[in-house]
Structures are given as C-alpha cells and as structure tokens.
Chains A and B, each alone.
Chain A
Amino acid sequence: MSDQPSVSPKVSCKGVDVFYGDQQVIHNVSMDIADRAVTAFIGPSGCGKSTFLRCINRMNDTIEGARVEGLVEIDGENVNAQGIDPVTIRSRVGMVFQKPNPFPKSIYDNVAYGPRIHGLVRDQMDLDEIVERSLVRAGLWDEVSDRLDSPGTSLSSGQQQRLCIARAIAVGPEIILMDEPCSALDPIATARIEALIDDLRQRFCIVVITHSMQQAARVSQTTAFFHDGRLIEHGETEMIFTNPADTRTQDYITGRFG
C-alpha cells in the first residue's frame, strides 16, 4: 500500500484470499513483511488477522475446510507451491499462540522437541547447548536452569509463554509469528515478553498480532490494520498511529470501534 521497504522483504504476499468452506474471510491481501523488524497486525476481532497469519506458515492446512489462494513467498519462494512440504516451512517459521501451550513434558523436553524431530542435533551435548541457548534468548534460563526436569506446565503463565518462544527459537526459524502472545498475561509478564520481542528483532522477522494499541506502538516498526478481511492500511507504525490515511484506522486506534 504505502511506502515499500527499501531492502527485499522477508515475506511477500500478493492477492491472498482465504476461504472457510464457501465463506471468504480474507479478501485480496497483498503485503510485504520486512526482515529483522517487528510487524504488528491490528484490527477488530474476527477481521481475519489470525487467518492471514496462518497463511505464512501454512497452518491453515491443518484447518478442515480452509483454502488459501494467491501468492505467499518467503525469500521469494512460494510456500504454497507444489512439492513444498509444510513441515519444512514450519521449521523456518515458528509460531507462538495466544494461550501458552507448553507440552505436558519437562521444560527440557519442550525445548528439545523441535530440534529432535528435525534432526538438528548429533548428540546430547548439541541438544543441551541448543536448549540452553534457546532458553537464554527467551530470557528464561536464569529462572529454570536448575529445574529443567520439572514439567513445563508447572511454570507461571508468563514463563510458559517464554518457554513457548524458546521452543520456537530452538528450531532455528527465520520468522516468528505471534498470535496475541500477551493477551493471557498480566502486565508484568507482558512487559517481559515485549522486551523479549524487542530483543529478538535483531535476529528474526517477527509478526505480532495484538489488541493493544500501546503494545503495537511500543514493539513494532510496521503496523498493518485489517478490517473485515481486508488490509486497510499498512505502513510505519508511527505513521499509522499519528497520521492514519483511512478513517476506519483512525476510528479503530482512537477506540471508536473494535
């Protein structure tokens, strides 16, 4: 829509439509997402943010009746092309969900699961190292290093969410998708996640869905506003929040609807 980033985008979508059965919920969305930056998706509930986010790592494949049309490219490679295994896409695109969902296994096993299934490690030492590195990056290491064997579900929900981030990082993704990662957390835990997102921006392409305007303003460099399955506005976060082009964006960020 508005100004294109100067460098080549990490993710590039062109004319994406998504249907659930006969019902179309995403209409002709085109958007580029920059690498090593945080992009925020905002918009009223049910406008299709999650659905569009799932197009990037082909999670819509797992929903029965969902159908994606249009072009989604990561580094210029069509993720929906024939012969592309969604498994390889998802190893490149990590995902963090709204509700922290650690496996009912130990903290260690939670983080180690991804590297194990993708065969990223040769031996236990490698694995130990990946687990530690991921937990350090997720800012959780200091809190759990002495109890890696205790169940992931025994952590507080803020810690659980950071565990989920560590679990996603461990696979070595290039992109991390976060679908309302803080909506189930208290303000302190939220602040920690936000700091973490800001930190992770150095290495990853991050997309965050959020319902909090302040959060979008704090963590993102780019913001996309969705409404009714359509991308209304997309640009620098500061621009969107200070000088939106569309009245619907204006109404939404000033709290007049949504």
Chain B
Amino acid sequence: MSSVHESLTRRRRAEMRFRAYGLAAIALAVGMLVLLLATIGVQAAGAFSHHKLQVSVEWTDNASGPTPPVATLVSRLNTIVREDLETVFPKAMQDRRSQVELHDTVSRLALLPVANRLSRDPPTSGSLFAFDVALSDDIDLFLKGSPKLTSTVWTDGVDSIEQTVGDSVELIYEDGGLLALQREGESNEPTLLLQMGGVVIRVASITDSVVSGKVLVGEVSAIDDQDRSGAIVHRVAAPELQRNVSDQQIAWMLVLQDAGRIKRTFNADFFTNADSTYPELAGVLAAIMGSVFMMLVTAAVALPIGMAAALYLEEFAPHNRLTRMIEVNINNLAAVPSIVFGLLGAALLINFLNMPRSAPVVGGLVLGLMTLPTIILAARAALRAVPQTVRDAALGLGASKSRAVFDHVLPLAAPGILTGAIIGLARALGETAPLLLIGMVAFVAEVPDGPNDEATALPVLIYKWSNGAERAWEPATAAAIVVLLAFMVLMNAAAVLLRRRIDRTRL
C-alpha cells in the first residue's frame, strides 16, 4: 500500500517535470519568435515613413501650350526646390561646397512622382502649387534619430554677442557657469549646436564665461532680446567625420523643422515604387508582383500535378516494386536542396528551352518542381488519413472507384491537401537560392505586367537590399521582410478560411 503511494508521488513528480520541460520549450520558442518579430518590426518601422519637405510656389506657366515632358518638369521642380532652399538659407550660396550640401538634402529623383502628378493635372498659372519632396536618405535617417540628437534648453541668457572674423562669434556670459555646458560637450567630441531663434551656432570652444563658435545659419544681428534670454543646446552623438550628415545640414534641418516645413508621412512610395538604386525611392511593388506571378505559376504547376500524382499513387496504383521505387524517389526529391532545382532551371529551361531569363514564369516552374514532392507527400498523407470505411461505403453502394474517390475521399482529404499545398507554396515564396541562378537577381526598375516580363521576387529583393552600402537600406530591408511575412500570413489565413469553408460545406 505505502509502496504504491510512494511510486505514485514519484510518478506524479515525473509528470510535473515533463510538463515543465514542455512549457519551457514552448516559452523558449515563443520568446525567440517575439524577439525576431520585434527586431524586424522596430527596424522596419523607419522605412514605412519618410520625412518630406513641404514646398509651395506660385506656379507660372511660361509655355502656354502642351504640357512639357516629365523630364523637363523634373528639372523645373528641381530648380524651384533649390531656389526655395537658397532663399531660406542665402548664406549657403557663399561657397560651392555648402551649396552642394544644401542641394543634397533633397533627392532629385523624388521629384519624379510630383512631376508625374503635375503633367497629369497641371495647375493654372498664377495659382499656388504645393508639393512634398522626399528628403535624402541620410537626412531622413537623421530625422528618424540616427545619429542621435539630444536637445536641452539652456536658460542662462547671453549678455553680449561679439562677431569676430567672418562667421565666428563669441557669446559672453558674464555670470560664468558654462562648465556644465562644457562637460556636456566633452565626451567623444560630439557636435554642440546652440540655437537661438533662427540662428544656429556650432560651438568650437567653451571657457567658464565665453562660448566661441561659428554661425551656421542666420545672421547674428537678427538675434533679438527675447532670443538672447536662453538657447536650445543640441548635441549630436557622433562626431561629424563619422556620419553622413554634416553639421551644416543638421543646422538647416533644425531651422526647417522649427518653421514646420518638414513632415513625416507614411511612405506610400515604398509600396508603389519599383526597385531603385536610391534607397529613399526603392519600393517593393515590382517584387510583390514578381512574387505573385511566380506563385501563380508555381501553384498552377505544382497543385494539379501534385494532386494527380498523389491520387494515383494512393488510390489507384498497384503496390509493387515500381510504385515503391517511385515513392522512395519522391521522398528523396523532397530533400534535394533548392539550389539544385535552380541549376536545373538554368540548364533546362533557359539554356535548352530558351525561356527568358529573370522571368517569373521560369522562377515559377522551378519553384513548382521544387514544391511538387512536398505537395505529393502532404496529399498522400491526407488521402491515407481518410478512413477505409468511407471508401467501402461508397464502393458497397456501387460507386465506381473514381466516383468514390472524387465524391467522398477527396473532399475529406481536401483540408489536409490544402494545408500541405500552402506549406509548400509558402516555402517556395521564401525561396531565394534557385532564383539567383535563373537571373532573377537582375536589377529591374519596372513593375512586371505578366509572368514573362523581367522581374525579381521579394526574397531576392531582400537579399539584394541587405547588401546595399547605404545605411538607409537597412530599414528598407527590414520593411521588405515585413512585407514578405505579411504575404505569408495572408496565404496562411487564406488556407484557414478555405479549410473552414470546406468543412462547412461538408457538414
């Protein structure tokens, strides 16, 4: 009696332990997943929005005739934007270098969509034409917080400002007490910018009562008494040489931001643009379309063939040496590395059958071949799971073999087949290696119209972007990953809905 009791507690403890292991395993898996999604999500968040400069001009239609070509409009808009910036920051015109820096804050290509809009729907001459133009990727990154900018309000009023040579100034604080400011500026030689009203001064050195520096934006004479009563101290985390935005550019942006000229907008271009060599203009639409066409071809190849093969092998084929050999080989085929299918596609479809390179139809065929064994295996498992009694019932009523299969077995197996097919297709959707071999890595700047057009696919795009040199490719890559994941979630959701639908109609 007591020994039974002892063994019972022991068994119960073992069970508890086992349950704990299981829970730990699940917690670990879920934790990893959350971590993965969170990092990608945080990274990607940057790419889904973009900072734009708001510009408005009085539109003068100098050529009253047909609207000029888009290229001309881009040039014209470019001039407008540049002149606008130069009016706000006239000092930038003093030397060539800062002029170029100023122009570099916006990207010229970002004017293309504006020009397109303009040519479709030209404003009447004399009316106000307002538009947004994307800031360059480095400026955008800076505005999104990289490198980090910390701004604090300095409430000591300056007593006098002396302009020494050119733009050099000395700010004199008679009460002293600037050491705190100095300390702040010492670590790692970051840039300190003092902003007073519309004037931005880069700090060069600080003593207890004197700040000397250089005026980057504005005129000292424009600083009024109210501006003198305090200052905003901006500290940029990295020294100028280690970042892609200059102190001068940062100073401009601070002023433009104060003037409310910069806004952060949802980056719709990311979803409507094709690939570009400029990260601020690059979008995923072409890759999405490429992937869609490819998946259509893959499904069109793999689903019917896979299902027919599974049906034949499972329901009709005799069980002999030949079918056993075929079975074994299908299993082997499912384990073949995907890159081998890419080689096959390159050799057979492109070199031998002369199909177009970089086309979704070729990618779809290759991925279809790759997915075929997976679908066959899943479909066979689903068919095998249908109880024999169902077949017996139908056959016993005098249904022919194929009627029994199509009326009863297939509908019962459909959810399983569907799940297997979706898993196979989802794997194909994320496949990169075989596509590299059939040339789908080529740079394609246009959205494909059909499966025969040159295209790229989402995973390949991610691969390419992740190799991009500019830092702005990083969030773009993460955002493309999010799009790919969303795509997969969508496919799985479709599968779940279809399953439900089938289950409902079947009762």
Contact = CB atoms under 8 A, between A and B. Distances in A.
Contacts of A87: 398-400
B228 interface: no
A64 B400 contact: no
B390 A168 contact: no
A106 interface: yes
A104 B507 contact: yes
Contact of B390 (A90, A103, A151, A167): A103
* Residue of B319, B395, B401, B412 with most chain A CB atoms under a 10 A cut-off: B395
A168 B392 contact: no
A197 to B, nearest CB: 17
Contacts of B397: 90-91, 94, 113-114, 117, 167-168, 171
B390 A62 contact: no
A104 B401 CA distance: 18
Contacts, number: 69
Given A104-B412, A105-B507, A94 B399 contact: no
* Residue of A62, A97, A102, A151 with most chain B CB atoms under a 10 A cut-off: A62
Interface in A145-178: 150-151, 153, 164, 167-168, 171
A59 interface: yes
Contacts of A24: none
B337 interface: no
Nearest to A87: B398
Contacts of B318: 64
B506 interface: yes
A91 B389 contact: no
B481 to A, nearest CB: 41
A99 interface: yes
Contact of B396 (A59, A99, A117, A150): A59
Contacts of A167: 393, 397
Given A99-B389, A101-B389, A151-B507, A59 B395 contact: yes
Interface string B384-410: 000101111111111111010001100
Nearest to B412: A104
Nearest to A107: B507
A101 B387 CA distance: 10
A158 B391 CA distance: 21
A79 interface: no
B507 A62 contact: no
Contact of B392 (A97, A114, A150): A97
B414 to A, nearest CB: 12
Interface string B304-341: 00000000000000110000000000000000000000
A53 to B, nearest CB: 11
A218 interface: no
Interface string A97-121: 1010111111000000110011000
B393 A101 contact: yes
A97 B395 CA distance: 12
Contacts of B394: 103, 113
A104 B391 contact: no
B466 to A, nearest CB: 49
Contact of B398 (A106, A153, A171): A171
B398 A117 contact: yes
Nearest to B399: A117
Interface in B215-243: none
Interface string A114-153: 1001100000000000000000000000000000001101
Interface string B474-502: 00000000000000000000000000000
A57 B396 contact: yes
Contacts of B400: 87
Interface in A51-99: 57, 59, 62, 64, 87-91, 94-95, 97, 99
B391 A64 contact: no
Contacts of A94: 396-397
Nearest to B400: A87
B403 A117 contact: yes
B393 A164 contact: yes
Nearest to B403: A117
A118 B398 contact: yes
Given A64-B318, A103-B408, A105-B506, A114 B389 contact: no
A91 B506 contact: no
A162 to B, nearest CB: 14
* Residue of A99, A102, A117, A171 with most chain B CB atoms under a 10 A cut-off: A117
Contacts of A91: 397-398
A106 B395 contact: no
B289 to A, nearest CB: 40
Contacts of B387: 101
A101 B389 CA distance: 6
Contacts of B391: 62
B399 A95 contact: no
Contacts of A164: 393
A114 B506 CA distance: 18
A97 B9 CA distance: 46
* Residue of B390, B396, B400 with most chain A CB atoms under a 10 A cut-off: B396
B501 to A, nearest CB: 15
A150 B507 CA distance: 8
12 contacts: A87-B398, A88-B398, A90-B396, A91-B398, A95-B396, A97-B392, A99-B389, A114-B398, A118-B398, A164-B393, A167-B397, A171-B397
Give 5 nearest A-B pairs by CB, closest first.
A90-B398, A95-B396, A101-B389, A91-B398, A151-B507
Given A91-B398, A94-B396, A103-B393, 9 more contacts: A64-B319, A90-B395, A101-B392, A104-B506, A105-B506, A106-B507, A113-B407, A117-B403, A171-B397
Interface of B: 318-319, 387, 389-401, 403, 407-408, 412, 506-507
